């Protein structure tokens, strides 16, 4: 363990600097898209009806892997947001707050089951609209979204048990704003607990990935939820701001960038609105010399390259114990060279398309800054498709703690590597960030895991695994990664008042 094999050593002697990979060719295995048809145009889902936007304006959502327009989507202005909040208030006062908790459960179970039946459709549309590999949307996003609805269906009529026998009251209308990296999953994380706790919602998906939230609205309509319990308004940042600032909203739940989160915190301050913020991250994935290295390599790869690094808790800083740094980097580069970058709908694809031109520009800018600051770059040499937005899996070594690539969230398939000698140095380096969302620890020693987990300032610490989620487990940040938790018993408290 921790050593190069005989074959690797021989190869290093004979062909130094050569990275082996791409040994296997795969026949294309694209997921079918002929079993559904998207609408040409999607309106706003307000009060249980599909309403034309009062703004009269629409925007296109494209597939980032082909740049083809998938559909036109309504852009909600202040008046549309006002109508959606009014509908949510009406639904709250008239039906949802008066409904027996066990009936709320039934609706949530119904949504979960309906989503299960349409899992394939949701996975394909998620990959089309956002660019993530079908393997991810099929095996991670959609099953987790379903699990969140099932889990919260179970809580709806047992809330007193969650709060040690104290009774709870719902808050009213929840304004929920989500980003583009997990469009359906974030919608589930927001809608399921809000409804379970007796609130109604107005949700705004991200401009580049509105489609699965709109399909969810169709599914909610099929599930016969009382009109106005869930409202979906599409648009860009201005629509989100209008929703946050609406005076009749009781609770704001935001997932997105730290910059926008700060703006929202300022807007909400002093209004009496409840707020939870799930923001950015710069997680450290810490590998000790006694770790199972091949397993760690898979965790590092999955933690930053699957999903194009579009993950708030991505293990974007690799902290390696100095004594194994060379071996680990060699293994990492070899494994990176086998990653398949390309068509998100192909079942073989590991790394899909970057979500938007804007995000690609941001990645390129930070990578250029890393090179300028003197870090050593290794990017997988692979043929990237001509159309669409792509970036090859990349790792930097010789990164200094003060460099931009070690401090700023890149939100792309780019890993920055630092080394350490002692557990204390690892902790200090890992915590030396404005963020605190997640971390990973790889070691053979259970005691070291507990020691590290107690000292790392991160909402989630994974041990000998990475990026594992479960609806029973609360997720959220420290410091500039936000506050409040989503999931688990703790996540419910964001949507109730304990009396």
Instruction: Please identify the residue of the shown chain whose CB is closest to the bound ligand NAP.
Output: 240
Where do we find the tokens 């006694």?
A: 290
- Count of residues that interact with Mg ion, criterion CB under 5 A: 3
Q: Which of residues 225-264 bind ligand NAP (CB under 6 A)?
A: 236-237, 240-241, 244, 255-257, 260, 263-264
Applying CB under 6 A, which of residues 142, 233, 437, 441 lies at the interface with ligand NAP?
437
Q: Pick between residue 316 and residue 397 the one whose CB is nearest to ligand NAP.
A: 316
| DSSP label at residue 140 | I
User: Which region among 8-16, 98-106, 205-213, 264-272 touches Mg ion (by CB under 5 A)?
Assistant: 205-213
- In Å, what is the CA distance from 211 to each residue of 34, 145, 178, 216, 376? 17, 15, 13, 9, 39
Q: What share of the chain is helix, strand, coil (3-state, %, to 5)?
A: 40, 20, 40
Task: Round to whole Å and give the CA distance between 280 and 277.
Answer: 10
Backbone φ and ψ for 488, nearest 5 degrees, come out as: 70, -175
Q: Is 278 in the site for ligand NAP (CB under 6 A)?
A: yes
CA-CA distances (angstroms) from residue 431 to 65, 412, 452, 476, 477?
36, 21, 11, 16, 13
Site membership for ligand NAP, residue 204 (CB under 6 A): yes
The tokens for 390 are: 């792509």
Stretch that binds ligand NAP, among 28-36, 68-76, 201-209, 490-498 (CB under 6 A): 201-209
Q: What count of other Cβ atoms lies within 10 Å of the Cβ of residue 480?
A: 20
Q: Tell me whether residue 373 is one of the annotated catalytic residues.
A: no
Retrieve residue 78's tokens: 């202040």
Among 129, 136, 141, 350, binds Mg ion (CB under 5 A): 129
Least distance in Å: CB of 247 to ligand NAP?
16
Site for Mg ion contains 61 (CB under 5 A): yes
Contact 67, 387 (CB under 8 A): yes
User: Does residue 281 bind ligand NAP (CB under 6 A)?
Assistant: yes
Closest approach of ligand NAP to the CB of residue 260, in Å: 3
SS3 label, residue 270: coil
Residues 6 or more apart whose Cβ sits within 8 Å of residue 413: 304, 305, 308, 309, 351, 391, 392, 393, 394
**Distance between CA atoms of 88 and 72, rounded to whole angstroms?**
25
Please say which residue, 42 or 442, places its beta carbon nearer to Mg ion: 42
Give least dist CB 359 to Mg ion, A.
11
| Between 137 and 443, CB nearer to Mg ion | 137
Decide whether 61 or 250 has the Cβ nearer to Mg ion: 61
Q: Which of ligand NAP, Mg ion, none interacts with 129 (beta carbon under 5 to 8 A by kind)?
A: Mg ion
Q: Which does 61 bind (CB under 5 to 8 A by kind): ligand NAP, Mg ion, none?
A: Mg ion
Instruction: Please pick, among 278, 321, 408, 486, the residue that the annotation labels catalytic.
Output: 278
- Residue at token pair 């034309």: 52
Member of 312, 329, 353, 430 binding ligand NAP (CB under 6 A): 312
Question: From CA 275, how far away is CA 151, in angstroms rounded?
Answer: 23
325 binds ligand NAP (CB under 6 A): no
Sheet containing 394-397, strands listed edge to edge, beginning at the edge strand earlier in sequence: 376-379, 394-397, 414-420, 317-321, 284-287, 438-442, 460-463
- Does residue number 144 form part of the binding site for ligand NAP (CB under 6 A)? no
Question: What's the min distance (Å) between Cβ of 469 and ligand NAP?
Answer: 10
Looking at beta carbons only, is 227 or 459 nearer to ligand NAP?
A: 459
Tell me: does residue 484 bind ligand NAP (CB under 6 A). Answer: no
Count of residues that interact with ligand NAP, criterion CB under 6 A: 31
Round to whole Å and give the CA distance between 253 and 373: 37
Kindly state whether residue 411 participates in binding ligand NAP, applying the rule CB under 6 A: yes
Of 79-87, 102-110, 206-214, 328-336, which part binds Mg ion (CB under 5 A)?
206-214
Cα–Cα dist 204/210, whole Å: 8
- Residue among 199, 208, 316, 416 that touches Mg ion (CB under 5 A): 208
Phi, psi of 43 (to 5 degrees): -95, -170
| Residue 311, CA atoms < 13 Å, CB-side half-sphere | 30
- Residue from 45, 180, 306, 396 in contact with ligand NAP (CB under 6 A): 180
Active site residue 312: yes
Rounded to an integer, what distance in angstroms lies between the CA atom of residue 144 and that of residue 189? Answer: 9
Query: Is residue 181 part of the contact set for ligand NAP (CB under 6 A)?
Result: yes
Our finding on whether 177 is near ligand NAP (CB under 6 A) is: yes
Three-point CA angle 178, 181, 187, nearest 5° = 40
Q: Which does 443 bind (CB under 5 to 8 A by kind): Mg ion, ligand NAP, none?
A: none
Q: Name the site residues for ligand NAP (rule: CB under 6 A).
A: 177-182, 204, 206-207, 236-237, 240-241, 244, 255-257, 260, 263-264, 278-281, 312, 409, 411, 437, 477, 481-482
Residues with active-site annotation: 278, 312
């Amino acid at each position: 363990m921790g050593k190069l094999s005989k074959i690797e050593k021989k190869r290093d002697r004979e062909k130094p600097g050569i990275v082996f990979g791409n040994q296997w060719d795969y026949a294309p295995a694209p997921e079918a898209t002929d079993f559904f048809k998207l609408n040409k145009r999607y309106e706003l889902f307000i009060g249980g009806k599909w309403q034309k936007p009062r703004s009269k304006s629409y925007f296109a959502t494209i597939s980032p892997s082909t740049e083809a327009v998938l559909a036109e989507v309504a852009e909600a202005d202040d008046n549309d947001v006002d109508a959606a909040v009014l509908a949510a208030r009406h639904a709250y006062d008239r039906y949802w707050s008066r409904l027996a908790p066990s009936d709320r459960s039934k609706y949530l179970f119904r949504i979960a089951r309906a989503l299960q039946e349409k899992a394939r459709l949701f996975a394909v549309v998620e990959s089309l609209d956002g660019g993530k590999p079908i393997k991810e949307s099929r095996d991670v996003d959609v099953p987790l979204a379903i699990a969140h609805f099932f889990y919260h269906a179970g809580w709806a009529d047992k809330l007193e048990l969650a709060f040690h026998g104290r009774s709870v009251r719902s808050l009213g209308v929840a304004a929920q704003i989500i980003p583009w990296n997990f469009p359906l999953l974030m919608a589930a994380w927001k809608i399921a607990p809000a409804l379970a706790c007796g609130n109604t919602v107005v949700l705004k998906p991200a401009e580049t990935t509105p489609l699965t939230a709109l399909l969810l609205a169709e599914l909610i309509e099929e599930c016969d939820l009382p009109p106005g319990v869930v409202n979906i308004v599409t648009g860009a940042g201005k629509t989100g701001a209008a929703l946050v600032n609406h005076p009749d909203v009781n609770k704001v739940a935001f997932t997105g960038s730290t910059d926008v989160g700060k703006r929202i915190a300022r807007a909400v301050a002093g209004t009496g609105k409840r707020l939870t913020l799930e923001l950015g991250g710069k997680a450290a994935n810490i590998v000790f010399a006694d770790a199972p290295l091949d397993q760690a390599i898979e965790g590092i790869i999955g933690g930053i390259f699957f999903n194009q690094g579009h993950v708030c808790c991505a293990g974007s800083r690799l902290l390696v114990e100095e004594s194994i740094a060379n071996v680990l980097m060699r293994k990492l580069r070899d494994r990176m060279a086998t990653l398949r970058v390309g068509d998100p709908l192909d079942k073989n694809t590991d790394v899909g398309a970057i979500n938007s031109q804007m995000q690609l520009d941001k990645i390129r800018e930070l990578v250029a800054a890393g090179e300028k600051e003197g870090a050593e770059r290794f990017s997988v040499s692979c043929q990237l498709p001509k159309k669409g937005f792509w970036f090859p899996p990349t790792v930097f070594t010789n990164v200094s703690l003060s460099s931009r690539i070690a401090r700023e969230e890149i939100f792309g398939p780019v890993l920055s590597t630092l080394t350490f000698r002692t557990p204390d140095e690892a902790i200090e380096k890992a915590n030396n960030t404005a963020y605190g969302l997640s971390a990973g620890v790889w070691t053979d020693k259970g005691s070291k895991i507990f020691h590290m987990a107690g000292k790392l300032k991160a909402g989630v610490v994974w041990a000998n695994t990475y990026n594992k989620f479960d609806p029973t487990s609360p997720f959220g940040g420290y410091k500039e990664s936000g506050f409040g938790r989503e999931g688990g018993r703790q996540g419910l408290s964001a949507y109730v008042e304990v009396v």
